[in-house]
């Protein structure tokens, strides 16, 4: 296997592992998912119970406040895409849509990555693509196992404005897309200089 694909797989797997490990502990610290459970891994990777009257599948615990005015850790369940997109779609549409989106992302990222030649100017794409891939797979694992994504990072502005709750996978996708945007500016194709035709006498 070429070295660059080892890098792609390594970064993507590192993002996936960090994402899943944080979600595993979030279920313990910020929800009652493991209360009375025989095996935590079985709960984590298994199907979630039916949602209650408050629409939660697992009972949330009190949030952990890191900054009263700006940031806290709060258990949230997101049946949609990153930052809550498409969460209002019916299940019979939302499920197939996510399958197609993730499959398409894997194909596009793999193709785009295969075109990299290893030049230093490609460093933003070299990191951005595996970050997006790892983040996409991390949230996809959630949807396959329990039908929703676990979010727990919540930014707000003095309780007046809120950013939708997110997780490690979402962060990796956003950072990866940001790096790809930088790459699109840094690695522009040089314009061809068209020489003027000699004047006829």
In a domain, 104, yes or no: yes
Give a three-class secondary structure readout of 9-55: HHHHHHHHHHHHHHHHHHHHHHECCCCCCCCHHHHHHCCCCCCCCCC
State the Cα–Cα distance between residues 33 and 51, nearest whole angstrom.
Answer: 12
Write down the pLDDT at residue 194. 58
When pLDDT is cut at 50, 70 and 90, the band that residue 96 belongs to is confident
Of the listed 19, 142, 151, 183, which one is catalytic? 151
When pLDDT is cut at 50, 70 and 90, the band that residue 196 belongs to is low
Count of domains forming the chain:
1
Does residue 170 carry a catalytic annotation?
A: yes
Residue 12 pLDDT exceeds 70? yes
Kindly report the pTM of this predicted structure: 0.87
Asked if 155 contacts 74 with a C-beta cutoff of 8 angstroms, the reply is no
Q: How many CA atoms lie within 13 A of 106 on its CB side?
A: 12
Does residue 35 carry a catalytic annotation?
A: no
**Percent of the chain with pLDDT strictly greater than 90:** 72
Q: What is the mean pLDDT of residues 112-129?
A: 95
In a domain, 195, yes or no: no
In a domain, 194, yes or no: no
Residue 56 pLDDT exceeds 60? yes
In a domain, 198, yes or no: no
Residue 92 token pair: 């019979």
In a domain, 201, yes or no: no
Domain extent at residue 161? 3-186
In a domain, 180, yes or no: yes
When pLDDT is cut at 50, 70 and 90, the band that residue 195 belongs to is low
Q: What is the mean pLDDT of residues 21-37?
A: 96
In a domain, 200, yes or no: no
Write down the pLDDT at residue 62. 97
Write down the pLDDT at residue 87. 61
In a domain, 120, yes or no: yes
């Amino acid at each position: 296997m070429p070295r660059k694909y080892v890098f792609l797989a390594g970064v993507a797997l590192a993002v996936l592992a960090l994402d899943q490990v944080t979600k595993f502990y979030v279920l313990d610290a910020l929800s009652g998912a493991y209360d009375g459970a025989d095996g935590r891994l079985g709960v984590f990777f298994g199907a979630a119970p039916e949602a209650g009257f408050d629409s939660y599948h697992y009972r949330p615990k009190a949030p952990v406040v890191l900054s009263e005015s700006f940031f806290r850790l709060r258990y949230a369940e997101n049946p949609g895409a990153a930052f809550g997109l498409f969460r209002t779609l019916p299940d019979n549409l939302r499920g197939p849509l996510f399958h197609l989106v993730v499959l398409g992302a894997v194909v596009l990222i793999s193709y785009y990555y295969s075109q990299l030649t290893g030049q230093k100017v490609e460093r933003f794409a070299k990191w951005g693509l595996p970050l997006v891939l790892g983040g996409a797979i991390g949230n996809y694992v959630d949807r396959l196992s329990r039908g929703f994504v676990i979010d727990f990072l919540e930014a707000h502005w003095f309780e007046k404005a809120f950013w939708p709750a997110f997780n490690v996978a979402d962060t990796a996708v956003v950072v990866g897309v940001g790096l790809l945007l930088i790459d699109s500016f840094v690695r522009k194709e040089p314009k061809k200089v068209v020489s003027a035709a000699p004047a006829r006498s």
